[in-house]
Chain A
């Protein structure tokens, strides 16, 4: 006769507190698909949000998001937590992938006519945002407002537009050296406003 035992799942810490992204990545590095699924749930809207900000097109953004998550799966073994958090690692990868897509395809050129120069405040009247995102957004928006208009324009074009610095130079019809300076001065100003310290 088979005697049933009661599974003791109350001691599973994962059931009481959601694991951090770093813990999840560590498990993903060991081939844990369940952890990968949890990591996806936690950060996919952020990744897709950023990618879509650059690519505009939803379907294409999902394609790139898929590439990003497969890269996370493949390279989780290379993630070093001492070099920064999991969010940082993932979002940096997401931005790079989105930029790669823009530069690899005509999409980047086509989309220029659609969007023109976008500013951080644009398309941000969405109602579904969480308080956390709103606060973060307000913080960044405020920091951005401390930049000169020329710096803000260059930084926005580069980061949210995915333009290379030489494209920014062409677009604004200013010398490359000037763009470099604006990007650097702008980022340093942002860093100081946001209180980022390493």
Chain B
């Protein structure tokens, strides 16, 4: 065997990303069969990291974060399938026993594998949808319909999308409202003055408010908020010394995280509250809030 054929010689180049695609594949096959080589590769990988961390940090321009955040809505997240699991026939898994797969093709919050499984590539590489491969595009499409909100905060999961309190769960309708909501949420989370505060509802469900005073916008998300009878809606309020102002209604299916960007303009210091009201909402609150958070 000549030196050229000895794959162990490639470990330095591998750690430095200096191999061509074929050699890289070859070297990884070699790694798979040698514990010693894997140790060396891991150590040299850490060494390369030190080189990376020694580079002078550069402050990104103002707009970069907003630009990235605004793209999350249309960028599907991969399922948590590992290449090993990919050998299993692809069916929708029910890894969360509390989730009824027949119920609603949306995700539920805080599940390690939040998306229906799609076949992972058997070569173990990580597909990148941003590059527009056909597989990734297919996933993007599926994801979009399964997650009409396109994106979610604090949960890979809008089990219910709030559509004026009337169309929750109408998952195939990717309407303008949803797009608008998604894009406003992205703006809030990307705003330089974006803040958040958490509390729980009177029933103990975690609730988080995200807001930006500069934008005058806020979004509320609540985990596992119970479903209401058909003649009731949840209603959002901005509350300040001048009174309570309706900020829209919504519904919940009872599992996963629901969120909604509030209607109207938020002023810093406003409280955001949720009450249960007759369907369609009330001009003023008629019941005690199930949650209130101060911005």
* A interface, CB within 8 angstroms of B: 1-9, 12, 14-15, 27, 29-34, 36-37, 40-41, 44-46, 48-50, 52-53, 58, 61-62, 65-67, 69-71, 73-78, 80, 84, 87-88, 91-92, 94-96, 99, 120, 123-124, 126, 129-130, 133, 136-137, 139-141, 143, 155, 158-160, 162-166, 168, 176-177, 179-188, 190-191, 194, 196-198
Contact = CB atoms under 8 A, between A and B. Distances in A.
A166 B19 CA distance: 8
Contacts of A32: 152-155
B105 interface: no
B43 A198 contact: yes
- Lowest 5 A-B CB distances belong to which pairs? A31-B156, A184-B12, A183-B12, A45-B57, A140-B54
Contacts of B79: 77
Given A12-B198, A78-B126, A155 B16 contact: yes
A137 to B, nearest CB: 5
B18 A36 contact: no
26 contacts: A2-B239, A4-B292, A6-B292, A7-B197, A9-B198, A14-B196, A31-B107, A31-B154, A41-B65, A44-B64, A45-B59, A46-B57, A52-B55, A52-B58, A62-B61, A71-B128, A74-B128, A75-B78, A95-B17, A129-B57, A133-B56, A140-B51, A159-B17, A180-B10, A180-B12, A182-B12
B268 interface: no
Interface residues of chain A: helix, strand, loop or mixed (majority): helix
Interface residues of B, number: 95
B288 A3 contact: yes
Contacts of A34: 153-154, 189, 194, 196, 208, 210
B52 interface: yes
Interface in B94-142: 107, 109-115, 126, 128-130
B16 A183 contact: yes
Interface residues of chain B: helix, strand, loop or mixed (majority): mixed
Interface string B144-158: 000000011111110
B52 A187 contact: no
B230 interface: no
Interface in B40-62: 40, 42-61
A73 B271 CA distance: 31
Contacts of A133: 53-54, 56-57
Contact of B288 (A2, A65, A77): A2
Contacts of B20: 164, 166
Given A183-B18, A190-B51, 19 more contacts: A3-B288, A12-B197, A32-B153, A33-B69, A46-B53, A48-B59, A50-B55, A52-B58, A70-B130, A77-B113, A155-B16, A158-B13, A183-B12, A184-B10, A184-B13, A187-B44, A190-B47, A196-B50, A198-B39
B34 interface: no
A29 B194 contact: no
A165 B4 CA distance: 13
A97 B266 CA distance: 40
A7 B289 CA distance: 12
A141 to B, nearest CB: 7
B215 interface: no
Given A96-B17, A126-B56, A185 B12 contact: yes
Nearest to A29: B80
B190 interface: yes
A3 B128 CA distance: 49
Contact of A53 (B55, B115, B189, B275): B55
B191 to A, nearest CB: 9
Contacts of A126: 56
A36 B288 contact: no
B275 to A, nearest CB: 7
Nearest to A48: B58
B53 A91 contact: yes
Contacts of A74: 75-78, 128-130
B234 interface: no
B9 A73 contact: no
